[in-house]
Homo-oligomer: A and B are copies of this chain.
């Protein structure tokens, strides 16, 4: 950036007036005469003057930038969240600077520090899978930077969050499986320290209990990384049990797909022998064979909502207490063939 860029001073010099006058003229300040304004605007136009935002940022102690920490960019759900964030930030005149934690706690910590040092006005955060200590977050908050959690959060009383009703979504999915006549429903759980894993597991459990079915620990596998491969591996293990499940509820769609793969390789039929339901409704679930029943999570809306809440907090700053709110978005069960043992219900 060797600035051959026009500044307010250049304009002033050219017109024989001071920088302050130019500044005011550009902002249509009443103190400035119409002629001066005209001259300034004309010259600014002609020289293609663009205000230096960095200088502005320094002056106003505000960067109009929000930092987004995302566990993994190459991930259908998260990428839709980013898209939602980006869209509302753009409309509100904010930049978004993106940092990827890669599911690493260490990286999350350094990312947050870096964002803080860049003086972002606020942060949007979804915890990494490894994160179990929250000091780095509290420290940022205590410095007055507003944080809004999305999707993966911990119970912090001082931040807003927008999440999805994982519990209800999971429960609905499992009830659906029961309605389809599944008797032995297994669950591929994800990283057990994440609330989303726990909530989905609880939904699974409560659906079973509600229908007076017992929860068989054997049929529940913890898959820390939550990947396709892990889903496949875990499913193979489940299938080799003496009393294997006749249905699997997976914590996410890639694992569900891994399960489908394992089942097909074993020569079993979906959903006749084993029904499958996933979570997140990755867009290609529709296109699988059989098409995958899944719990749809509104990622784009989540991104939008989180960005809106954050920007509201940023702009409320100094004007009264911040409003801490928690927004829970509804999921929607998308029923497709992988779970339709009986044919369409309802």
Using a CB–CB distance below 8 Å, which chain A residues touch chain B?
1-5, 50-55, 57-58, 61-63, 65, 73-76, 79-80, 82-83, 86-87, 90, 95-100, 111, 113-114, 116-119, 121, 143-145, 228, 257, 260-261, 264, 282-284, 287-289, 317-318
Contacts and interface: CB of A to CB of B under 8 A. Distances in A.
A146 to B, nearest CB: 10
CB-CB nearest 6 A-B residue pairs: A289-B289, A73-B83, A97-B97, A74-B79, A98-B98, A54-B57
Contacts of A118: 53-54, 95
A80 B86 contact: no
Indicate how many identical chains form the complex.
2
Contacts of A283: 228
A145 B117 CA distance: 24
Nearest to A95: B97
Given A79-B79, A284-B284, A121 B63 contact: no
Nearest to A228: B287
B1 A145 contact: yes
In this complex, the member of A62, A82, A145, A287 whose beta carbon has the largest number of chain B beta carbons within 10 angstroms is: A287
Contacts of A113: 50
Nearest to A144: B2
A119 B118 CA distance: 14
A51 B318 CA distance: 23
A109 to B, nearest CB: 13
Contacts of A117: 50-53
A98 B82 contact: yes
A263 to B, nearest CB: 12
